[in-house]
Amino acid sequence: MEIFFGWIIFSFVAGIIGSGRKIGFWGAFLLSIFLSPLIGLIFALVSKSNEKEEYEKRMLETQKSQQEALNKILQEKQNNASTISITDELEKLAKLKNDNIISEEEYQKLKDKLLNS
């Protein structure tokens, strides 16, 4: 009879320890009742705490938002760089045409090629 009460009490203790963790009170308690209070206690101690799990979720959300911000910044820089390079190329072509290095036809052909790409 003492063994039965000891089993129940230690199962209850394992359940209390498991209540602040992912396994929960009832999971640790029932595991302790059916298998052993020691096994229930081990599972309760190995299970992640609710605070740690919440911390990991917040950290993951923060990392995702930082990654999205970085991707947005990189995309804006790439868009600006391509716009600047096309503008620079058009200026170079205009200078070549003004210096009579290329003809008007070549200028128009190269300009259309730049603007369509």
The SS3 assignment for 107 reads helix
pLDDT at position 94 = 86
Of residues 88 and 82, the one with the higher pLDDT is: 88
Given a cut of 80, whether residue 110 has pLDDT beyond it is yes
Domain boundaries, the chain: 1-47, 50-117
> H-helix or E-strand containing 88?
helix 50-98
Whole-number mean pLDDT of the chain?
87
Residue (of 79, 103, 82) closest to 93 by Cα position = 103
Please list, in sequence order, all residues whose beta carbon lies within 8 angstroms of the beta carbon of residue 6, skipping any fewer than 6 positions away. none
> Six-digit token pair at 63?
């990392």
Given a cut of 90, whether residue 11 has pLDDT beyond it is yes
Confidence bin at 82 (pLDDT 50/70/90): low
